[in-house]
Amino acid sequence: MATISEDIASPADTAELEGNTTYVEGVGNIPRNIYKYVKSDPLGDLPRYSIHIVIQHFATFVTFLVLAATGLALHFASLWWAPIVMKLFGGPDTARLIHRIAAALMVLASVYHILTLIGGTLQKILNRKFDINRTQIPLLKDIRDVVHDVKYFFGKEPYRPKMNKFMYKQKLHYIAILWGTFVLIAAGTSLLFPETMANIWPDPRFGQNLARLMHADEAIMAVTVIIFWHWSNVHLVPGRFPLQWSFLTGRITREHQIEEHFMEYIENLKEIPEEKEYMKKLLKEKGFDSN
């Protein structure tokens, strides 16, 4: 187990490294901002996502773009840009068909994700390897991390919090995606099968109007969140621009993991012998006692 020590001396020639350190047995004291001194491959150094998650993300990403383009063009058909977009998809009828096919593929990707999540979790529980700190489940620590991070950005803390595999922003985004996907699928199903849903809704007319409103509004919100929150946070921020390759390689850069997912890096140090040797060597180069 890693233990925290806040009074470990830093090397004399590296005053910037002063501050919190985390001790890992067999490695040494890991400074909180050692990420500034590590080597990183832009394609990724350390494991982050399984091949299943990579496939699911890619399928969701592609189908989402197709759904947004065709769906919004059909919904706002009277606007000047809508006919241009629909023409790219072969006209309104073809765009409508493509929209439905993409929707079916997104539903399959969602089912694939749920099955992977359940199966992977059960396997880890049976193998006694399940760790709630490495999941998307919200924890009280996430609230403390938010407060700590806000203080850091206002200059009240010298370092960012020591966050787990998934930080608070990613957990919020994941919950938003779950809710948005549920709304889009439920509302879209209601619009696609009005006769069937009329037997379910107490007031069929109200139900269809609500479904039409929710489907369009949730789609606009999803596009806004993806562009202005997800893409900016994942790919456009300093240190990640112009692209972070984790969504294709399933791997994360050493620098990024230490900076934003420090506790996950500590776990990797325990599990990956090559990484343990790399860090031991780096600590010696920087003048830290790695014993």
Q: What is the pLDDT of residues 278-287, one digit of tens each?
A: 999 999 888 7
* DSSP codes, 99-164: HHHHHHHHHHHHHHHHHHHHHHHHHHHHTT---GGGSS---HHHHHHHHHHHHHHTTSSSS-----
Provide the β-strand partners of residue 81: none
Report residue 289's pLDDT band, with 50, 70 and 90 as the boundaries.
low
Structure-block tokens of residue 11: 């090397």
Q: What is the pLDDT of residues 187-199, one digit of tens each?
A: 999 999 999 988 8
User: Which pLDDT value is given to residue 234?
Assistant: 87
Q: What is the pLDDT of residues 92-150, one digit of tens each?
A: 999 999 999 999 999 999 999 999 999 999 999 999 999 999 999 999 999 999 999 99
Question: Could you give the C-alpha distances from 115 to 21, 81, 228, in angstroms and in order?
Answer: 39, 39, 30
Q: List the Cα angle 227/164/115 in 5-degree steps.
A: 70
Q: What is the pLDDT of residues 247-264, one digit of tens each?
A: 999 999 999 999 999 999
Question: pTM of the predicted model, to two decimals?
Answer: 0.85
Question: Could you give the C-alpha distances from 169 to 110, 131, 149, in angstroms and in order?
Answer: 21, 19, 11
Provide CB contacts within 8 A for 189, sequence distance 6+.
197
**Domains of the chain by residue range:** 47-254
What class has domain 47-254?
mainly alpha
User: Which pLDDT value is given to residue 291?
Assistant: 53
User: Which pLDDT value is given to residue 182?
Assistant: 94
